[in-house]
Structure 1
Amino acid sequence: MTDATTGAAAVEEAGAQPAAGVWRNADFTKLWTGQTASLFAAQVSELALPLVAVLALAATSEQVGLLTSVVKLPYLLVSLFAGVLVDRVRRRNILIVTDLGRALVLSVVPVLYWTDRLGISWLYVLGFFAGCGSVLFDVAGQAYLPQIVGRDQLTRGNSALGASQSAATIGGPALGGVLVQWLTAPVAVLAGAASYLVSALTIAGIRHKEDRLEQARGATPAGTLREVWAGLKFVFGNEPLRAMTVMASIFNLSFTALEVAFLQFMPRTLGLSAGEIGLVMAALGPGFLVGAAFAGRLPQKFGYGRTMLTTASVANLVMLGLATVHGSGVVAVGTLMLINFLFASFGVANNVTVLSIRQTLTPDTLQGRVAATNRFVAMGIAPLGALVGGFLGGSVGLRTTVLVTAIGLSSALVPLALSSLARIRYELPPQIQIKEEA
């Protein structure tokens, strides 16, 4: 059974003073460098693999869509089990092995291409295994950070890693496009593999000795399922973590539906050109970077609860303005760019704060499973959101769908506002205490 002591009334008095900068921590610097290299490699390969299918194999649109789905499928199929593994094995080792594994998998693509053996079926298989590696790396990275930095440095550590994620999201596809243009798509995949090797070598230099993790009590299928259930029970059995998960579920369902409708709304309803649509979407990039830059400072200045509620409110409520835009002039494009910039800035700041609190609340023996449960919920609900967005767009019109789904985003604020999370002040809450079942 779990015994949770959470909320504003249970906030610790310790940890209120800001810690020395995380950049003075050599192990964190190595982790940040390795994760940054890995994130860029993932972005490059996510662009290069479909281009291999299109340019080298003349794949159909359906085949390219299936390839993209197969790469994302591990988030649904293996996330929860990845969490169990991360809580059993030293996380540094998982990060290194998944980097080396993805480097090996991607290296097979150009070899098969050069020997005239590459087919779309090979890309499905290799893309799936690369996706499995990405899931494991993502979960292990989130679980490893609390061992590398102190709890009073988690927000700044997550902010730095968030900046890397933003930079990779912006620069990775551009870098991948240049590599494809210069080196051809199969060789661009090989460049991604090389970046994974850089990540593995950097993370291998971390000297921190991890705390002893919970031993696997008989790695049987039944035991593994019990551990998966323990992670789910921990998340949904404790009010703050449950509120975060419900909020993420509502947000991802609504955001995916909104994204499907918005990408059609711009050209079909507003009449925007491809170049204007590019400008609107490009505004997300600077927003990501700005949000990551100030995310680490906000909780110490305004408090964790106020920061979470304010950043989530601005990010979600500003999207209501999308449905009010008309026409394709400079004002319309500028308004959409501003909305996207604000959404990205405050959304990233909110994510950093929420992640830091979640890591603090979670005992180290459950970090992997809690992170995996969140990834499972966040990615698992997205396909349903896409169906909802497409159905509503065809049934009630694109403008109405954009408005309805933006209202759905706003409703994600309700579980946050009603939870004890919104009342956390300047100190991170104490870790939830766990009583092992007999």
Structure 2
Amino acid sequence: MTQTAPARRTEADPPASLWRNRNFLLLWTGQGMGTLGPRVALVAMPLLALEVLDASTFQVSLLTLLGWLPYLVFSLPAGVVADRLDQRRTMIACDLGRMLLLVSIPVASMTGWLSLTYLYVVVATTGTLTVLFTVAYRSQLPKLVGATQLVDANGKLGMSDALAEMGGPALAGLLVGLLGAARGLFANAATYGLSALTLGLIKVPAADRQGAAVARLPFRTAVTEGFAFVRREAVLRSLLLCTTVSNFFFIAASSVQVTFMSRELHASPAVIGLVFSCAAVGGLLAGAFANRLSNAIGSARIMWVSMLVPGPLYLLMPAAGPGWGLALFALGLAAFSANSTLFNTASLSYRQRVCPPDLLSRVSSVYLWISYGAVPLGSLLGGTLGATLGLRPTLWLCALGLWSAALFVVFSPLRAMRDTPGIPTEVEEKK
């Protein structure tokens, strides 16, 4: 397998502890706010459409579609843009754009100009900015932390994702209840404003600012370079296939989870919300201990171990029953949340290590385009199987499909590695 070592910084090394790394803490805060915003909007927007605009079920479903569509349409161009421009400033611009777009909704509502069409435009545009923000921040991290700190840093960023997943819907419900569906978006917009403020305080070394070489390339050539790099790297190909299959079956399961718990297990909305909140704890714990587990198991080995070992616990979801049997569903979902955080932390750290800095955004965009492009197809499969085979059989198939994604990394060059090649471990660095 071809390995391309990224260019290392010429500035002073970053602090040994991430807790003393001012730039990372600012990025972590900004990314956390940037992650929380979409989670809140995921609940607030449909409620706004239902309560204020009297939208139908189909019209509300279009909001979800438009929220995911930018990943399929704009991921590849976003990679080129993020590699050509200053990534920190790009992230700030995305935050400010999303903030202004969200502020415009309650303003339009209070002035009587709000319509479904306008809501669709805002959702699609903010989704596009979110794609660009995501690509840029994943390329920013290696410039702010040391090579051996990537797993720890990505684990902490994964904790933010888990916290947003756990608290976002609840916060959205609270805001809508206190302020109303439209005015609640003012608070949602504030998260993007705080993100832009913290990112603006980051000081990126001048030697780490990329873009000139990429800007000279034709747009199509710049895009295909990302594909070519992934195609050459056997491990990156395996990680991409694993991520895509996992996303596909998880979304398929997600499309019937709430219906299954409500109709088959007779759970109330409050209990269903509690199940999802408890499940997110798995991701929080995995993020907190990601660095320790990576050092103990191996930064390369943990990628296939984290996919293979928790697999049997996924089967607890379709095996769940009413009452206390719902705890089985929460446990199975928590196992997937922990697996997802560990795998994403390790695989993203690997990608950041082996990709040249001026190519990283485009490689990340390839991952987003393919792995998130499977999301609509997975949702379609889950809904179709749920309607034809039944809810519990559908969950059995999805749980087995989730586990099968591990095959792509178990039968890959990763199985012969303990750690990522060419990167010293923390123990070796201290000698």
Aligned residue for 1:145?
A: 141
Please state how far the C-alpha of 1:88 moved relative to its aligned partner.
Answer: 0.7
Please state how far the C-alpha of 1:49 moved relative to its aligned partner.
Answer: 2.2
Equivalent of 2:306 in 304, 308, 311: 311
Q: Distance in 1 between matches of 2:292 and 2:163?
A: 19
With normalisation by structure 2, the TM-score equals 0.90
Aligned residue for 2:403?
A: 410
Aligned residue for 1:358?
A: 351
Q: Distance in 2 between matches of 1:366 and 1:168?
A: 29
Aligned residue for 2:163?
A: 167
Aligned ranges for residues 26-41 of structure 1 at < 5 Å? Answer: 26-41=22-37
Q: 1:262 to 1:176 in 2, by over 3 A?
A: closer
Aligned residue for 2:70?
A: 74
Paired amino acid for 1:334: A
Q: Distance in 2 between matches of 1:50 and 1:323?
A: 28
- Deviations, residues 228-252 of structure 1 (Å, cap 9, x unaligned): 1111121122101100101111111
Aligned ranges for residues 323-342 of structure 1 at < 5 Å? Answer: 323-325=318-320, 327-330=321-324, 332-342=325-335
Please state how far the C-alpha of 1:218 moved relative to its aligned partner.
Answer: 6.2
Paired residues of 2:214 and 2:358 also in contact (CA < 8 A): no
Corresponding residue SS for 1:381: helix
- Deviations, residues 51-89 of structure 1 (Å, cap 9, x unaligned): 222222222221111122112211111011100111111
Paired amino acid for 1:296: N
- Deviations, residues 134-170 of structure 1 (Å, cap 9, x unaligned): 1111111111001111111001110111111111111
Q: More deviation in 285-294 or 303-312?
A: 303-312
Q: Distance in 2 between matches of 1:274 and 1:44?
A: 18
Aligned residue for 1:213?
A: 210
Residue 260, structure 1, aligned to residue 260, structure 2: no
Equivalent of 2:336 in 333, 337, 343: 343
Corresponding residue SS for 2:228: helix
Please state how far the C-alpha of 1:430 moved relative to its aligned partner.
Answer: 5.7
Please state how far the C-alpha of 1:91 moved relative to its aligned partner.
Answer: 0.7
Residue 233, structure 1, aligned to residue 235, structure 2: no
Q: Distance in 2 between matches of 1:63 and 1:176?
A: 20
Aligned residue for 1:424?
A: 417
Paired residues of 1:79 and 1:372 also in contact (CA < 8 A): yes
Equivalent of 2:360 in 347, 363, 367: 367
Aligned residue for 1:387?
A: 380
Residue 48, structure 1, aligned to residue 44, structure 2: yes
Paired residues of 2:226 and 2:363 also in contact (CA < 8 A): yes
The percentage of counterpart residues that share the same residue type is 37
Q: 1:146 to 1:127 in 2, by over 3 A?
A: same
Paired residues of 1:78 and 1:132 also in contact (CA < 8 A): yes
Residue 57, structure 1, aligned to residue 53, structure 2: yes
Aligned residue for 1:5?
A: 3
With normalisation by structure 1, the TM-score equals 0.88
Paired residues of 1:240 and 1:419 also in contact (CA < 8 A): yes
Q: Distance in 2 between matches of 1:267 and 1:45?
A: 23
Q: 1:399 to 1:158 in 2, by over 3 A?
A: same
Q: Distance in 1 between matches of 2:171 and 2:421?
A: 38
Q: Distance in 1 between matches of 2:46 and 2:257?
A: 23
Corresponding residue SS for 2:339: helix
Q: Distance in 1 between matches of 2:423 and 2:257?
A: 41
Q: Distance in 1 between matches of 2:176 and 2:392?
A: 37
Q: Distance in 2 between matches of 1:212 and 1:277?
A: 46
Equivalent of 1:243 in 238, 242, 247: 238
Q: More deviation in 211-220 or 121-130?
A: 211-220
Paired residues of 1:357 and 1:429 also in contact (CA < 8 A): no
Please state how far the C-alpha of 1:42 moved relative to its aligned partner.
Answer: 2.4
Aligned residue for 2:118?
A: 122
Q: 1:272 to 1:192 in 2, by over 3 A?
A: closer
Number of matched pairs: 415
Q: More deviation in 35-44 or 237-246?
A: 35-44
Paired residues of 1:308 and 1:350 also in contact (CA < 8 A): yes
Q: Distance in 1 between matches of 2:317 and 2:123?
A: 35
Paired residues of 2:85 and 2:210 also in contact (CA < 8 A): yes
Paired amino acid for 2:372: M
Please state how far the C-alpha of 1:414 moved relative to its aligned partner.
Answer: 1.1
Equivalent of 1:154 in 126, 150, 153: 150
Equivalent of 1:396 in 367, 389, 403: 389
Please state how far the C-alpha of 1:120 moved relative to its aligned partner.
Answer: 0.8
Q: Distance in 2 between matches of 1:38 and 1:258?
A: 26
Please state how far the C-alpha of 1:309 moved relative to its aligned partner.
Answer: 2.0
- Deviations, residues 336-384 of structure 1 (Å, cap 9, x unaligned): 2222222222331222111111111111011111111111122100111
- Deviations, residues 257-286 of structure 1 (Å, cap 9, x unaligned): 222344333344444444443343232121
Aligned residue for 1:280?
A: 275
Paired residues of 2:300 and 2:420 also in contact (CA < 8 A): no
Q: 1:203 to 1:269 in 2, by over 3 A?
A: same
Q: 1:101 to 1:423 in 2, by over 3 A?
A: same
Please state how far the C-alpha of 1:427 moved relative to its aligned partner.
Answer: 4.8
Cα-Cα RMSD: 2.3
Where does structure 1 lack aligned partners over 5 or more consecutive residues? Answer: 7-18, 432-438
Q: Distance in 2 between matches of 1:194 and 1:262?
A: 31
Please state how far the C-alpha of 1:93 moved relative to its aligned partner.
Answer: 0.8
Paired residues of 2:3 and 2:354 also in contact (CA < 8 A): no
Q: Distance in 2 between matches of 1:313 and 1:217?
A: 38
Corresponding residue SS for 2:212: coil
Paired amino acid for 1:254: F
